[in-house]
Amino acid sequence: MTRATKKKAGENPEKTTRIQEINRRLILDAALDAFSTYGFRGTTIDQIADKAGMSKPNLLYYFPRKQNIYVTLLEETLEEWLAPLAEIDPEGDPIEQLRKYITLKIRMSESHPEASRLFANEVLHGAPAISEFLSKHLKPLVDEKAAIIRRWVGEGKLAPVDPYHLIFMIWATTQHYADFDVQVRAIMGNQVGRPGFNEQTAQAVLSIILNGIRPRL
Amino acid sequence: MTRATKKKAGENPEKTTRIQEINRRLILDAALDAFSTYGFRGTTIDQIADKAGMSKPNLLYYFPRKQNIYVTLLEETLEEWLAPLAEIDPEGDPIEQLRKYITLKIRMSESHPEASRLFANEVLHGAPAISEFLSKHLKPLVDEKAAIIRRWVGEGKLAPVDPYHLIFMIWATTQHYADFDVQVRAIMGNQVGRPGFNEQTAQAVLSIILNGIRPRL
DNA sequence: CAAAAACTTGACTAGTTGGTCAAAATGCAG
DNA sequence: CTGCATTTTGACCAACTAGTCAAGTTTTTG
């Protein structure tokens, strides 16, 4: 026996057991909560293990490094996060396509604010773990959609507007409600939780942006 | 001698020496750099002391706790950060006033991106150190300006728009370029540093938002 | 149902980090 | 120039935390 390596979950390639599936999920859910609130450095493995209801060594059996959990989470999140952008249809009506996109983005910020904050935190700190993703996946997709928007502008279907800055504005505005939630609450107080607040937000954002880019005569 | 307290900088009330002034500044500058990049937890006292060119105990002579440096920085930054909002003139032309406000905010994000990131990081993590500031200072100011914008809308000088969401949109968009700088660079590449880029950004943001809120017939 | 594989954990280690302390060096008022 | 206050620092400590390990328990499989 020359093998001296320790056994880790998923050692057996291609094989994930039922227990592995359950526990990985428990860990990732707990970690998303913690990382999105306290950041990478601010979160301890013990915290995550506690929240996931298992011992620290057990957690480390599934993810040998803290960094692994973090990166896995980011990867899981990013694809989902980008999906709405990919759905913009070059053949559709420009205003309608952008309305749909903005609406989807707002809904995502409402339903997955932790994901938004996880991502925001990573980018804010220089995106050390995902800089490759940004250049290899995000940039090409944005370039593609920017070209579509530019064409729409050329055809007079949108007011003259830089497509990149338009996309940034949509990102910034929609994610603001997740990332700066505390600030929004401090200012708008009890309104935030109230029924209809989300619709009101979507309405306000859509109104300003869509009117801002509607073709002018 | 019953006094047993240790001596700390500024022990003598009302008296700051020349050396104190210099060193506090050195520390705060170094700390802004570090905190805005790595966050509170991600920054070590040693790092700050190194950057400030002094020993750790010496740094602690001026700021007995890491937290003190952080809070001092935030306080210093926040007032400055809010100043442009306070300048909105209720008697001025609405579109012009908002144009000026947006322009000032963009310029601040360009000239003090670290301050923007420091603040973003704090809010993102639940604003534990400044929740009081948000409710005691920020909210009243925003309420005041929101009332002005609401009046303008009532007078037909602006399209019907929720003033709070408008303010959030301006914040989100302008600060995006500082907070998500890495992402902006990943997508727009070498354009970012180029002369004229900042003007182009300001132009794009102003164009969309101002046209989005211009009164419609 | 027995053996192997997968899973779980208490106890531990090594490295990091916020903060202390006492003594030395420097600055400064008279 | 002298003596007191201010400033500076090397050495140190206690708390925390990522990750290890060996020994046990549970689950799966032939």
CATH classification at residue A22? 1.10.10.60
Final residue before a domain boundary, out of B42, B64, B86: B64
Is A4 a member of any domain? no
Report chain B residues whose CB lies below 8 A from the CB of A135.
Answer: 186
Report chain A residues whose CB lies below 8 A from the CB of B41.
Answer: 38-39, 41-42
Is B1 a member of any domain? no
Taking the Cβ of residue A47 and every Cβ of chain B, the question of whether any pair is shorter than 8 Å is answered with no
A172 within 8 A of B172, measured Cβ to Cβ: yes
- Residues of chain B where predicted confidence (pLDDT) is lower than 50: 1-5
pLDDT > 90: percent of chain A:
88
Report chain A residues whose CB lies below 8 A from the CB of B215.
Answer: none
The answer to whether A207 contacts B176, with C-beta atoms less than 8 Å apart, is no
DSSP state, residue B65: S
Is A6 a member of any domain? no
The whole-number pLDDT of residue A13 equals: 61
How many angstroms away from the CA of B213 is the closest CA of chain A? 6
Query: In this complex, which of A139, A166, A207 lies closest to B187 when CB atoms are compared?
Result: A139
Instruction: Please name which of B126, B117, B47 lies closest in space to residue A125, comparing C-alpha atoms.
Output: B117
The whole-number pLDDT of residue A124 equals: 97
pLDDT band at A152 (very low <50, low <70, confident <90, very high): very high
- Say whether both A133 and A184 belong to one domain: yes
The whole-number pLDDT of residue B7 equals: 59
The whole-number pLDDT of residue B17 equals: 85
Q: Is A142 exposed, middle or buried (0-12, 13-18, 19+ CB in 10 A)?
A: buried
Taking the Cβ of residue A38 and every Cβ of chain B, the question of whether any pair is shorter than 8 Å is answered with yes
Is B186 a member of any domain? yes
ipTM, interface predicted TM-score of the complex: 0.92
- Say whether both B52 and B80 belong to one domain: no
pLDDT band at A100 (very low <50, low <70, confident <90, very high): very high
- Say whether both B129 and B186 belong to one domain: yes
Is A137 a member of any domain? yes
Taking the Cβ of residue A125 and every Cβ of chain B, the question of whether any pair is shorter than 8 Å is answered with yes
What is the C-alpha to C-alpha distance for residues A35 and B42, in angstroms, rounded to an integer?
13
**Domain range holding A45?**
18-64
Question: Can you give the CATH number for the domain in which B140 is found?
Answer: 1.10.357.10
Whether the pLDDT of residue A4 is over 50: the answer is no
- Say whether both A133 and A165 belong to one domain: yes
What is the C-alpha to C-alpha distance for residues B217 and B53, in angstroms, rounded to an integer?
62
CB interface of A with B, residues 163-192, below 8 Å: 164-166, 168-169, 171-173, 175-177, 179-180, 182-184, 186-189
The whole-number pLDDT of residue A14 equals: 60
- Say whether both A104 and A31 belong to one domain: no
Angle between helical axes of B197-213 and B94-111 (0-180°, round to 10): 150
DSSP state, residue A16: -
Element (H, E) at A27: helix A18-42
Nearest nucleotide by C1' position to the A17 CA atom: C6
- Say whether both B144 and B203 belong to one domain: yes
pLDDT band at A72 (very low <50, low <70, confident <90, very high): very high
CB interface of A with B, residues 49-78, below 8 Å: none
- Say whether both B55 and B91 belong to one domain: no
What is the C-alpha to C-alpha distance for residues B88 and B212, in angstroms, rounded to an integer?
19
pLDDT > 70: percent of chain A:
94
Task: Find all residues with CB under 8 Å of B188, minimum gap 6, and list them.
Answer: A164
Is B4 a member of any domain? no
Q: Is B71 exposed, middle or buried (0-12, 13-18, 19+ CB in 10 A)?
A: middle
B106 within 8 A of B198, measured Cβ to Cβ: yes
Angle formed at CA B179 by CA B189 and CA A99, multiple of 5 degrees: 80
Whether the pLDDT of residue A183 is over 50: the answer is yes
A68 within 8 A of A10, measured Cβ to Cβ: no
Taking the Cβ of residue B8 and every Cβ of chain A, the question of whether any pair is shorter than 8 Å is answered with no
Taking the Cβ of residue A95 and every Cβ of chain B, the question of whether any pair is shorter than 8 Å is answered with no
- Say whether both A195 and A119 belong to one domain: yes
Highest mean pLDDT (candidates A30-39, A188-197, A208-217, B15-24):
A30-39
Domain count, chain A: 2
Q: Is the dihedral of CA B16, B22, B27, B28 positive or negative?
A: positive
- Mean pLDDT over the full length of chain A: 93
The whole-number pLDDT of residue B16 equals: 84
The whole-number pLDDT of residue B170 equals: 98
- Say whether both B132 and B28 belong to one domain: no
